[in-house]
Amino acid sequence: MIRLATRSDLNLVSDLLVEFLSDTSYNKHTVDIDRDHIRRLVFAILHQGYIWILFNKEVAVGFLVAVKEQNIWIPSKHSLREMAWYVREEYRRSLGAGRLFIKFCECAEELMQQGVIDGYLTTRMTTTEDYDLESRGFRLTEKLYLKD
């Protein structure tokens, strides 16, 4: 099951977000994670974007976070940016993991139809499967590397 997060999911999503940080290239810095900051961030995202939670039975096993933002290069344009897409490793090859992405795309398409956004972006993290985004209509705009 997938559903949008609510305020009552604040701690649940915050815990999953910490797992995401620990499982990606940010893992060198997990001792520095301020959980109160993460909770405030999740609270803000609940009001400025979307958080979909993936459940296996009654257990939350993943999420996708997306925020509406103004384009930094062309301020008259707005987009929906996927900020974090995380599914626990043992569930990554499940149908639910892909359905999270489909929910994000469906929401973005609706927002584009309504004229709220002009496009949407997704990111490939170190934990993301190597699937073909271009066949889904996406085009590569940048790659992001971290050196720490």
Distances in whole angstroms, Cα of residue 42 to Cα of each of 6, 14, 18, 24: 10, 7, 11, 18
Cβ 82 vs Cβ 103: under 8 Å? no
Give me the pLDDT at residue 20, please: 87
pTM of the model: 0.81
Q: Which of 49, 85, 88, 93 is nearest to 68 (CA)?
A: 49
CA dihedral 73, 102, 134, 22 (to 10 degrees): 70
**What percent of the chain is predicted at pLDDT more than 90?**
51
Domain boundaries, the chain: 2-136
The residue to which tokens 């999911």 are assigned: 9
Q: How far apart are the first and last CA of the chain?
A: 37
* Predicted confidence (pLDDT) at residue 14 exceeds the cutoff of 80: yes
| Domain 2-136 CATH (choose: 3.40.630.30, 3.30.450.70, 2.120.10.30, 3.30.830.10) | 3.40.630.30
What is the pLDDT at residue 26?
Answer: 57
Q: Per-residue pLDDT tens for 25-47?
A: 655 656 677 889 999 999 999 99
Given a cut of 90, whether residue 60 has pLDDT beyond it is: yes
What percentage of the chain has pLDDT greater than the value 70? 78
Q: In this predicted model, what pLDDT tens digit does every residue of 65-81 receive, in sequence order?
A: 999 999 889 999 999 99
The residue written with tokens 């900020």 in the block is 83
Instruction: Dump pLDDT digits (tens) for 2-11.
Output: 999 999 999 9
Q: What is the mean pLDDT of the chain?
A: 84
Residue 147: pLDDT band with limits 50, 70, 90: very low
Three-class secondary structure of residue 15 per DSSP: helix
CA distance to 98, 123, 124, 132, 137, per residue, from 140 (Å):
20, 10, 11, 11, 10
**Dihedral of the CA atoms 113, 7, 20, 78 (nearest 10)?**
30
